[in-house]
Amino acid sequence: MRSSLLRTVKKTIERYGLLSPGDRVLVAVSGGVDSMVLLEVLYLLRKEYDLRLWVAHYDHRWRKDSLKDALFVYRQAQEKGLPFIYGVAPVKEYARREKISLEMAGRELRYRFFERLYNLLDLQKIALAHHADDLAEEVLLKFIRGAGRRGLAGIPIKREAHLIRPLLLVTKEEIEVFAREWGLSWVEDESNQDVRFLRNRVRHLLIPFLERHFHRKVRENLKRTALILAEEEELIEDLARKAYEKALVRKPQIALRVPVLKDIPPALRRRVFWLALREAGVSLFRMRQSHLEALNNLISGKARGPVPLPGNFQAIRGPGFIRFVPKPALFSPFVLKIPGPGRYSLPIGGEVILEIKTRCSPRDIKLKLEKVSFPIIIRNRQPGDRIYWPAVGHKKLKKFFWEKGLTAEERDRIPIIEIDGRIVAIPGYYVHPEYKASSEEEGLCLSFQKIA
């Protein structure tokens, strides 16, 4: 029996290409039996695969004695001569601030910690201890929440080439047998029995009920279904990646071309959204079907946006594209009266410098002196604003900004220069032709510094 689990894990590693010789691997160890078996297995295979291992423990501070678990893992790493890294965060406070569940908050912070270490230590893999029973639970959870095909594929055995789950085809029972026969120690996390958590209700209540009253091999059947779907997902993911590259625009934020999205079948379009959201930094753990439906409405024109997304992000529709960007800080309307040349702080941040001279920077605004009268007004946009446009007479500022691809929030941050009730300039975008000074004549230069 001792070699049975090892044989299964080795077959899984070879079949799915989870490890390569010489890999530097971060092993996520909570101290529970699953992660202790994962650590032992990779330690036993380290010479065969020429692995360098790091042990990482993340303390969620859910329990007052959680530090004991961290010390236990530290001692286990010490015994094996492996480097130990400890991470901790007040998960409850984060969940409260972000208005998400404890489970989701813990998962977000935990994965963020592992990814930081992955980049900092120049690692090739992050090994996680999910097993076949976890896979069955995940499929049921996703089904309950109304996930699509992608969600029903459950937990991927490998994600983004560096997140690997060597125990995913091994059952909980096999793990516990291995742990006892190899004389391993582990700690019991009492929160795993707490049925206030949805996953625990699925684990301790729903699956046993299904096994008793419907089919005794529910876990095995769910695992088999998930693995079939996962293999098919590889093909769909490849198609989605090609469609994503075709639709992608960088402005510099992640943006997708609307005409391309409209031509993609809805099922593939959802995958393209996932790829864009992941690259933009949106928390995929928090994404729901309602978010995807809202994005589709943005594409079809049923909604104008912006569409709020998890983690203080939003999707913005522009002329021919949608962008995935962080929500900007809100700015209140402001009006600043400039009495004469000098240096003035702006309510939106930065400052403006007004000087009378002949040579101005190409980035500055240069106004004819005979057209200037003080006070000059600097403000942000107001309803009904119009600018003079030689070809059409006047144009709504709202339409002008739309044509420039600016979001509503970005428009609020742009200073408007007004003289005698007329908009004469917009830094970086517009200067009224009657007020624009030539490069040879002396004029009033307005230099805007660090507007952000």
- Name the binding residues for ATP: 30-35
Eight-state DSSP code of residue 206:
I
Q: Torsions phi, psi of 22, nearest 5?
A: 85, 5
Q: Which residues are annotated as a binding site?
A: 30-35
* Sign (positive or negative) of CA dihedral 328, 332, 335, 336: negative
Q: Torsions phi, psi of 27, nearest 5?
A: -105, 115
User: Quick count: other Cβ atoms within 10 Å of Cβ 256?
Assistant: 25
Calpha distance 169→412 (Å, rounded): 53
How far from the centroid of its chain's Cα atoms is residue 171's Cα?
Answer: 31
Say what angle helices 132-144 and 218-247 make with each other, to 10 degrees.
Answer: 70
Sheet holding 158-159, edge to edge: 84-88, 52-59, 24-28, 125-127, 163-164, 158-159
Calpha distance 423→199 (Å, rounded): 59
Peptide bond between residue 310 and the one before it cis (omega within 30 degrees of 0):
no
